[in-house]
C-alpha cells in the first residue's frame, strides 16, 4: 500500500480541469488538504526559475516535499497551437526544466521523493502505426500543428530519464490521450474538439441555427479518455512507478471526427446540418493507443464508456452555462 496520507504533494495545475480531479482522488486516498499544495498562476509563474524555487521553499512552510505531480501546461486545440507555437514550446519546456532540476538540486529527490510528469499524445510521430505503442515515440517527427508542444513534453521525459541515470531520481511519466469531461475548457479559441463541439451544438440549438461549421474534412480519427479515468491512471503511476518509462493512458477505441460530430449532434439534440470547412487542417491523421502496458505495469484500464462520458459532459456544460464556457472553474 502506498502511504499517501503521509506525503507532502505539490500538484501543478491542480486547480484546472484534470488537476481538480487528481486532487479529489488524493482526498479519496486519505490525503489531508493541508498536505496538497496547488500553486496558482497569480502567485507563481512556473516558467521562471525563481518562482519555482520560491514554490519549493514555501509550499509546506519549509517541510520536505515528497512528490510533485506536474500537470500544468499551456495547451489548446489546432488553432491555438498554430497561433502560439513559440509560447507553447517555451512555457512547457521552461516549467518542466525548472521544476525537475530544482526538485533535484534542493534535495527532495535525494530523500526518495518522486516527480510525476504528465506528457502528451502530441509527442508521437505524425505517421505512427496505429495503435500507438510507446516504443514508437522516436520513429519520426510529430504532426506539425502541435509539434512544438509535443517536443517540449517529450524533452521533459528525456530529462527525467537522464536524471534517473545520473542522480537516481525517482519519477513516473504517462501519456494521456485527448481528455474530456465535466469542467473542461469550453472557450472556442483554445478548447479541444469535444468541448468546442458541445458548445457549438448547444449554442446553435439555443439560437435556432440551421448549421454548425466544423474544421477539416472529418476524416481524421481520435481517441478520447474521460478525465476521471486519466486522473486514476496518473495516481496509479505515482504509486507503482519509480522510473520514467513512458506509459500510454487511453480508452482503447478510435472514432473519426465525422462520427464524433454526428454523435455529439445527436446527444445534444441539435437539428441543423453539419458543414465542413476543408480549408482548415485535420491535424494528425489518426490517434489510437495501445494501452496494454498500462494494464500490465499499473493494473489500470479506462472504466467510463464514451457515450456515458459525453452525456455527463454535455449535462455539465448545460448546467454551468457561461461560467463553464468562460473559465471551466466550477
Active site residue 226: no
Q: On the CB side of 227, how many CA atoms lie within 13 Å of its CA?
A: 22
- DSSP at 29: T
Q: How far apart are CA 153 and CA 122, in angstroms?
A: 9
CB burial of residue 292 (10 Å; 0-12, 13-18, 19+): middle
Give the closest residue to 192 by CA, choosing from 314, 77, 317: 77
Q: How far apart are CA 289 and CA 17, in angstroms?
A: 22
Proportion of the chain in helix, strand, coil states, percent, rounded to 5: 50, 15, 35
Q: How far apart are CA 317 and CA 322, in angstroms?
A: 9
Single out the catalytic residue among 124, 149, 163, 173: 149
Strands 114-118 and 67-70: what pairing? Answer: parallel
Q: How far apart are CA 282 and CA 269, in angstroms?
A: 25
3-state class (DSSP) for residue 175: strand
- Catalytic site residues? 149
Amino acid at each position: 500500500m502506498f502511504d499517501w496520507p503521509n506525503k507532502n504533494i505539490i500538484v501543478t495545475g491542480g486547480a484546472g480541469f484534470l488537476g481538480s480531479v487528481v486532487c479529489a482522488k488524493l482526498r479519496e486516498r486519505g490525503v489531508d488538504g493541508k498536505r496538497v499544495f496547488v500553486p496558482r498562476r497569480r502567485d507563481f509563474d512556473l516558467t521562471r526559475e525563481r518562482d519555482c524555487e520560491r514554490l519549493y521553499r514555501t509550499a509546506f512552510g519549509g517541510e520536505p516535499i515528497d512528490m510533485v505531480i506536474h500537470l500544468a501546461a499551456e495547451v489548446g486545440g489546432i488553432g491555438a497551437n498554430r497561433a502560439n507555437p513559440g509560447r507553447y514550446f517555451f512555457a512547457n519546456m521552461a516549467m518542466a526544466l525548472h521544476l525537475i532540476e530544482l526538485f533535484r538540486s534542493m534535495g527532495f529527490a535525494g530523500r526518495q521523493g518522486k516527480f510525476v510528469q504528465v506528457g502528451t499524445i502530441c509527442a508521437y510521430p505524425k505517421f505512427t502505426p496505429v495503435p500507438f505503442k510507446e516504443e514508437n515515440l522516436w520513429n519520426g517527427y510529430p504532426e506539425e500543428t502541435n509539434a512544438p508542444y509535443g517536443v517540449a513534453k517529450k524533452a521533459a521525459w528525456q530529462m527525467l530519464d537522464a536524471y534517473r541515470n545520473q542522480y537516481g531520481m525517482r519519477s513516473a511519466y504517462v501519456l494521456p490521450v485527448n481528455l474530456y469531461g465535466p469542467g473542461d475548457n469550453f472557450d472556442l479559441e483554445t478548447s479541444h474538439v469535444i468541448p468546442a463541439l458541445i458548445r457549438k451544438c448547444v449554442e446553435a440549438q439555443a439560437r435556432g441555427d440551421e448549421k454548425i461549421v466544423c474544421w477539416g474534412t472529418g476524416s481524421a480519427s481520435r481517441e478520447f479518455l474521460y478525465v476521471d479515468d486519466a486522473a486514476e491512471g496518473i495516481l496509479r503511476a505515482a504509486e507503482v512507478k519509480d522510473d520514467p518509462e513512458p506509459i500510454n493512458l487511453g480508452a482503447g477505441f478510435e472514432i473519426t471526427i465525422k462520427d464524433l460530430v454526428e454523435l455529439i449532434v445527436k446527444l445534444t439534440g441539435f437539428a441543423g446540418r453539419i458543414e465542413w470547412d476543408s480549408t482548415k487542417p485535420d491535424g494528425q491523421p489518426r490517434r489510437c493507443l495501445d494501452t496494454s502496458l498500462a494494464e500490465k505495469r499499473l493494473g489500470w484500464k479506462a472504466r467510463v464508456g464514451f457515450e456515458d462520458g459525453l452525456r455527463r459532459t454535455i449535462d455539465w456544460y448545460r448546467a454551468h452555462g457561461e461560467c463553464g464556457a468562460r473559465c471551466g472553474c466550477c
